[in-house]
Structure 1
Amino acid sequence: MAPGVTGVPLLLSGYPVPLTARLLRVLMEGVVWPDQAEDDIIQSNVRRLRGGTMTTRFSASLLVLCFASASLGVAPSAAVAEAPTFDVQQWVMPRTPDGRPDLQGNWSNATLTQIQRAPGLGPILTPQQVAMMEGGAALGAQAGSAASDPDREAPPAGGIWTGNPLADGASGGTGGYNSVYIDGGTRVAVYNGQPRSSLITNPENGRIPPLTQEAMQRAAERRAFNSQFGEFDNPENRPLADRCLMSFGSNAGPPMLPNYFYNNNYTIVQTPDHIMIMTEMVHDTRIIRLGERVPMPEHIRPWMGDSWGHWEGDVLVVETTNLPTAQLNKHGYVYPGGSEQMKVVERFSRADESTINYEFTV
């Protein structure tokens, strides 16, 4: 895009949509940021790993898992505000030999929809807003796939910092030749035919609740303890993803959320007494026990916690407790400051041949 251009007309069902840089950032990042050159925003695709603070209950209902083989083109959706049409006469729920819904396969939760809702947005995106997000992703993918100039000048000393912590943290300000390894999603999340503005649906504002006084006290105590060490003094001072112990953000969960970067893929294997979910990012694997619950002792806290599942009709309900401290503090991203009593409840239900509906409550 030429310098000074403030928008790109995109067509969605006959509607010309002005793609303004500021509005695109609001839609895709979930927050209002200071103005930045539109080229920087579009070409970096403005995908940001969102964190936040919470200790109180919040939940989400979203279309989160789709077959990895599903179409992932970058053109704007043709009818984003219309409910998908499925012929219920043609699709029959696949079942395992013991009669349960078959959740097995390769799935992805890559999406443009952010965890938190941008201030001022309603819960459902308009067709124009969807076109801006998906059109911006298409432009970003196009720019990122362009051939590199072999005669380009070297980057300045210290690199180029975009202000996007996900991109800056991954490249250290050096950038990359192109985006061939990047796949943060090209579509907004659609649930019950509605394009969502955030993955969080409760509280009604779609935002992670603020910390309680108790959580702020725990955070202050952690900061005081960590202040005696340098950032690189010990491996324990580094994030779990740096050490390849856990996936980026909350990819592996619970809850299982997109990282807006790459490797948002999952493999599910199912038996009568266990569900296994392997995350492509860092290859974390959750093993969920089914049947009668036998809780782990309080002091045993494995990565991703102690997960127990049971069936409520055709819905798999998974309850997780005993999350480790390292996932509950600054390295947790989704629930920093959470107490050791935190509990996550997930619900998996097969919706059609290529969709699992995934809901979670923290």
Structure 2
Amino acid sequence: MQIRRRRSSFWRVWGSALVSIGALVVIAAAAALMMFAASAAEAQEIPRRHDGRPDLSGTYDIATLTPAQRPDRFGDRLELTQEEAKALAEHWSTNFDKDHAPSDPNREAPPKGGTGIYAPEFTGAAGKVGGYNAFFVDIGTGAFQLDGKYRTSIVTDPPDGRYPPLSELGQERSKRVAPFRHENTGTAWWLELPVGPYDDHELRPLAERCILTRGASGPPSMPGMYNNLKTIVQTDTHVMILIEWMHDVRIIRLDSEHLPDTIRNWSGDSIGWWEGDTLVVETKNFREIPGSVTRGSRDMRVTERFSRIDAENLRYEFTVEDPAYETAWSGEYPWPATSHKLYEYACHEGNYAFGNIMRGARLLEREAIEQGTSGGSTGD
């Protein structure tokens, strides 16, 4: 009888334990189901195409007061405080209002030749000879946020948020461009150079010729001083990005191969593929831009990642591998959706200044020849 009682007690205890374990399993399964349901609901919140891929289509305004490179005072600090972000927005708002004040009709004329865009006192477009004021500029009204935090810069790697040092190749390119970076003295200083920046219209910067602004067009695509809209159109086989500034178009072939190395474009050759819900785009086969140091070499390779933050906003990430720099560098920032329409940036049709630039150069050269002097050094 004693043995039976012990056995009976044993089974009662063991049975209770099994019931407890079973309850825990049920609770864990229910919790997992709830997490799965929440995850599924979250995944359904972003727009998707018929094939289940995220729909990236839309128009986005990437204007932001956050700079590409981090100001030195922030060091390795990635984020701004709420107070710093507010102060930045207020500072720009004050300057914007000041620049909109009526012009003084009795103000003095600008110095001959302007101040030159490389002069220390240069603060605006066209070398202070009557260029753009704040009316024409659209750089946003505040710093951008990612993951609920304001950022100090777009560049995130290196950790100091700044471009890496130039490599030997980059320094050599910089030396070739250096003679072209000259203060505008109103003289034909370039006559002392073997090849001057005004000797041929094709030697002028691509942006000045209304052909391309690689910073705005990308890759990587960066916010500019104005016209920061991007429109994405997505199909099963291609993704098209229409860039407002210079009215440029990027065509990204999905699940394709790169063109032969002999075929090169200003914006490179882009192919893309999906990694989960992220569109990865790789671009290579660039043409080197004349007179540029910071806009990438012909051997640059850029990897971009587009993903949806929510139904309205994209997350844009990029990594640049360029032998012109000592190391690769990366960055990220949001692409917020906008209801604004992207209109044609009709640059070439109104680019009357370009003809005047070349005519002005010929005039200064004639004056220098008549005076028997080029009127200045190269600034080396």
Would the TM-score normalized by the shorter structure come out above 0.5? Answer: yes
Q: Distance in 1 between matches of 2:102 and 2:132?
A: 8
Q: Distance in 2 between matches of 1:228 and 1:135?
A: 49
Deviations 1:143-198 (A, max 9, x none): 2333445x443434435679679854x33312358522211121112111111111
Distance (Å, rounded) in 1 between the aligned partners of 2:242 and 2:123: 25
Asked if 1:133 is matched to 2:88, the reply is: yes
Q: 3-state DSSP class of the match of 1:320?
A: strand
Structure 2 distance, partners of 1:182, 1:270, is 30
Q: Find the partner of 2:223 among 235, 255, 258.
A: 258
Q: Is 2:120 the partner of 1:155?
A: no
Q: Which amino acid aligns with 1:117?
A: R
Contact kept in structure 2, 1:103 and 1:270, CA below 8 Å: yes
Matched, 1:325 2:288: yes
Which has more radius of gyration? 2
Alignment of 1:343-358 (within 5 A): 343-358=301-316
Does the residue aligned with 2:90 lie in a helix, a strand or coil?
helix
Report the Cα offset of residue 117 of structure 1: 1.1
Match of residue 82 from structure 1: none
Does the 8 A contact of 1:240 with 1:331 survive in 2?
no
The structure that is helix-richer by fraction is 2
Q: Which moved further from structure 2: 280-289 or 92-101?
A: 92-101
Aligned in 2, Cα 1:250/1:178: closer, same or farther, shift over 3 Å? closer
d(CA) in 1 for partners of 2:116, 2:309: 42
| SS state at 1:318 partner | strand
C-alpha spacing 1:224/1:90, structure 2 compared with 1 (3 Å): closer
Say whether the 8 Å CA contact 1:91–1:352 is kept in structure 2.
no
Residue 281 of structure 1 corresponds to 245
Q: Which whole-Å deviations, capped at 9, do the CAs of 1:17-76 have from their partners, x for residues lacking one?
A: xxxxxxxxxxxxxxxxxxxxxxxxxxxxxxxxxxxxxxxxxxxxxxxxxxxxxxxxxxxx
Does residue 212 (structure 1) correspond to residue 167 (structure 2)? The answer is: yes
Q: Larger relative contact order (C-alpha < 8 A, sep ≥ 6)?
A: 1
Structure 1 position 182 matched with structure 2 position 137: yes
| Distance of aligned partners of 1:239 and 1:221 in 2 relative to their CA distance in 1, 3 Å threshold | closer
Asked whether the equivalents of residues 233 and 241 of structure 2 are also in contact (C-alpha less than 8 Å), the reply is: yes
Aligned residue in 2 for 1:194: 149
Cα 1:129–1:330 shift into 2, 3 Å: farther
| SS of 2:155 mapped into structure 1 | coil
Q: How does 1:235-254 map to 2 (within 5 A)?
A: 235-247=201-213, 250-254=215-219
Q: Give per-residue Cα distances to partners, 1:271-301, cap 9 Å, x unaligned.
A: 111111011111011000002x221111111
2:101 partner SS: coil
Contact 1:148/1:177 (<8 A) preserved? no
Residue in 1 that maps onto 2:66 = 113
Taking structure 1 as reference, are residues 193 and 330 closer, same or farther at Cα in structure 2, changes over 3 Å only? farther
- Report the TM-score when normalising by structure 1: 0.66
Residues 334 and 115 of structure 1: CA distance in aligned 2, closer, same or farther (over 3 Å)? farther
Q: Which residue of 2 aligns with 1:272?
A: 236
Identical columns (%):
40
Contact 2:126 2:132 (C-alpha < 8 Å) held by counterparts: no
Distance 1:179 1:297, change over 3 A: same
Note the residue ranges of structure 2 that are not aligned, 5 or more in a row: 1-40, 181-189, 321-380
Once the two structures are TM-superposed, the CA of residue 330 in structure 1 deviates from its matched residue by 3.7
- In 1, the alpha carbon distance for the partners of 2:164 and 2:88 equals 25
Cα gap change, 1:164/1:97 in structure 2, threshold over 3 Å: closer, same or farther?
Answer: farther
For residues 306 and 263 of structure 2, the distance between their equivalents in structure 1, rounded to whole angstroms, comes to 26
Which amino acid in 1 is paired with 2:67?
A: Q
Q: Which residue type is aligned with residue 242 of structure 1?
A: E
Q: 1:301 to 1:145 in 2, by over 3 A?
A: same
Unaligned runs of 5+ in 1: 1-87
Q: CA deviation at 1:99?
A: 2.1
Name the count of aligned residue pairs. Answer: 265
More displaced, 261-270 or 222-231? 222-231
User: Helix, strand or coil: the match of 2:72?
Assistant: coil
Secondary structure (helix, strand or coil) at the match of 2:86 reads helix
